[in-house]
Structure 1
Amino acid sequence: MKTVIVDYNSGNLRSAEKSFQRMALEFDAGDVIVSADPNVVRSADRVVLPGVGAFADCRRELGAIDGLFGAIEARVNAGVPFMGICVGMQMMATWGREHGDHTGFDWIKGEVVHLKPDDPSLKIPHMGWNALNILSDHPVFDGIKTGDHAYFVHSYHMLPDAPSDLLATVEYGEPITAAVGRDNIIGTQFHPEKSQETGLRLIGNFLRWNP
């Protein structure tokens, strides 16, 4: 089995690579490769799309590598498990509203909007540890419960149209989307590679998930 973490100039992927490799080794889940090569992605058994920065910038960088998004979408359409992380999750939406309106992948109907906490003392970006509120018994949350903490760094979040696509939230002056998913695709607004035990468990679950 081969898990490909997609490299499209979205930031330092070293921590994600190390976390996925650690859990792949623990569960005998094959190889973890970081690659920007569409041909490598097309041979992947699992695809992970990270993302750091602004929605439009990530979308542009991904589109600048000829054939890369097509390779990702082909694997998703083939039923291969896919995980988006942070902006990689946000791009799964229909629209990103960060500094204008930008088209997403439209895999999960909805939009990505700016955080608007009710409490003016809460700073944006939302940065640090928050307790998860698990809304679904999705397999990637096996062994993870409401109250477990994950690490966030973001100013925008996804609002899915269908409540069934919302897997987990956190509270930060308002309910914030922490995870979304349907069929063979999932996404986390938090960074599992920085979320210690909770994040490693989620990564391990993803590597063993057979949708």
Structure 2
Amino acid sequence: MVAVINYNAGNIRSVLYALERIGVEHVLTDDHDVIRKADKVIFPGVGAAASTMKHLNETGLTELIRSLKQPVFGICVGMQLLCSHSEEGDVDCIGVFPEKVKRFRPENGDKVPHMGWNTVRLNERNDWVSPEIDGEYCYYVHSYYVEAGSDTVATTEYCGKEYASMMRRGNFYAAQFHPEKSAGVGERILRDFLGV
């Protein structure tokens, strides 16, 4: 069973549809016991960091997520909230990854948010997605990015920055792009995480 964390964030339904297409048993929940007992957990979403962290703190989900031992996959805002701090609302986040989240500052006519297809470049730290993902295009919608660091397994370039587009630390996995909206490449990434 895969638990998809239901919290104060948008765009969760697209992840549920992707799991249905793959044929994986899943549940959308904020029940702590259900999340703890799940085989794998997905932490997706779109939203503002400060209001979302307020909700996670008030509901005890911050501590719960931090304590999970099974594989956890943070997607888009889910990835950013797994980091230590976000410039969006100047808020401390869950802190699984030590990296910080910063706002894109446009250069050379780049637009913010970064919206659309961009390439994913795997590095030597990748040990969880298929090597053929390297150089493929995935779908992004975000105004903030995570600095590349020791947990980065893939990078993407935008606004003159090479930033972390995929990360891993222990049982925590993350992607800045939306695998559920990234066609066959995204499905392959989800399957690699889910082991199906």
Query: TM-score normalized by structure 1?
Result: 0.85
Using the TM superposition, give the Cα deviation of residue 140 of structure 1 relative to its aligned residue in structure 2, in angstroms: 3.1
- 2:110 pairs with 1:110: no
SS of residue paired to 1:5: strand
Match of 1:74 in 2: 67
Contact in 1 for aligned 2:167/2:174 (Cα 8 Å): yes
Using the TM superposition, give the Cα deviation of residue 117 of structure 1 relative to its aligned residue in structure 2, in angstroms: 4.1
- 2:17 pairs with 1:18: yes
- 2:48 pairs with 1:54: yes
- 2:126 pairs with 1:164: no
What is the CA–CA distance in structure 1 between the aligned matches of 2:111 and 2:47, rounded to whole Å? 18
Work out which structure has the larger RCO, using CA pairs closer than 8 Å and 6 or more positions apart in sequence.
1
Contact in 1 for aligned 2:62/2:94 (Cα 8 Å): no
What is the CA–CA distance in structure 2 between the aligned matches of 1:3 and 1:175, rounded to whole Å? 32
SS of residue paired to 1:106: coil
1:195 to 177, 182, 192: 182
User: RMSD over aligned Cα, in angstroms?
Assistant: 1.8
Contact in 2 for aligned 1:114/1:156 (Cα 8 Å): yes
2:73 to 69, 83, 86: 83
Q: What do the CA deviations read for 1:84-138 (whole angstroms, capped 9, x no partner)?
A: 0111100111111113x2111111112100112432x110000000011111463
SS of residue paired to 1:178: strand
Letter in 1 for 2:61: L
State, as a whole percentage, how many aligned pairs show the same letter. 35
Uncovered stretches (5+) of structure 2, i.e. residues with no partner: none
Match of 1:208 in 2: 195
Using the TM superposition, give the Cα deviation of residue 143 of structure 1 relative to its aligned residue in structure 2, in angstroms: 4.6
What is the count of residue pairs matched by the alignment?
Answer: 195
What is the CA–CA distance in structure 2 between the aligned matches of 1:144 and 1:5, rounded to whole Å? 27
Contact in 2 for aligned 1:37/1:68 (Cα 8 Å): no
Contact in 1 for aligned 2:43/2:75 (Cα 8 Å): yes
Contact in 2 for aligned 1:39/1:71 (Cα 8 Å): no
Letter in 2 for 1:112: V
Match of 2:58 in 1: 64
Query: TM-score normalized by structure 2?
Result: 0.91
